[in-house]
Amino acid sequence: MRIPIHREGWPFIGLFFVANIFLFLLARWLGWLFVPLTLWCVAFFRDPARRAPPGDGLLVSPADGRLLPLALAAPPLELGMGEAPCQRLSIFMNVFNVHVNRIPVAGTVATLSYRKGRFFNASFDKASEHNERMSIRIRTERNGRVLDLAVVQIAGLVARRIKCDLTQGQQVQYGARFGIIRFGSRVDVYLPPGAEVLAAAGQRVKAGETVLARLH
């Protein structure tokens, strides 16, 4: 069975594979001891196909993982969306989740902003404010109104690389891939006013498939 792999993963998989061969040459038991780590590396960079559910005004999860408690918070200031608090949905990804990120709604990339920061555990609430992050402002239309929402890729305790393939002004499609975060992380979504949350805290979600909210 063919396992689809994200292109960011091949250098790491190659490194683990070479290390595994070296350990087998050094001592067979060391090689077998390292095999689970090599298999984990392959699994970490898996990139399964996903199909966004049909529906009107739906917002899908940008990441695989567990939905953290819902919160009211202001979007990152660098996005220029104001300081008024809005509904924030946060998805925590552990090292066993798929880490390929997907676009929650169709629209236009209005703003991109990368900010260096710290590497607190991504499940902590302070990670949204203090950790290294890539912030994305997506502009969409709904019933003749222009709506802005934010998607924020956040590095975690062991994550050290955020990859975002988007460019400012780019048209993006609902459920399409847009990046990856390496080795445990978090993605926040800041909803526009009037959005109806359909997911619940603690729920396991899948990028591009699980519906988080509906835009009105």
Catalytic residue annotation: 185
Cα–Cα dist 15/63, whole Å: 26
Residues whose CB is less than 8 angstroms from the CB of residue 22 and which lie 6 or more positions away in sequence, other chains included:
none
Name 36's bridge partners.
none
Name 118's bridge partners.
131
Contact (CB, 8 A) for 90 and 186: yes
Q: Which string of b and e fits 7-33 if b means at least 16 CB within 10 Å?
A: ebbeeeeeebeeebeebeeeeeeebee
Residues whose CB is less than 8 angstroms from the CB of residue 189 and which lie 6 or more positions away in sequence, other chains included:
59, 62, 88, 89, 90, 91, 104, 149, 150, 151, 152, 212, 213
Strands (E), 23-78: 58-60, 65-67, 71-73
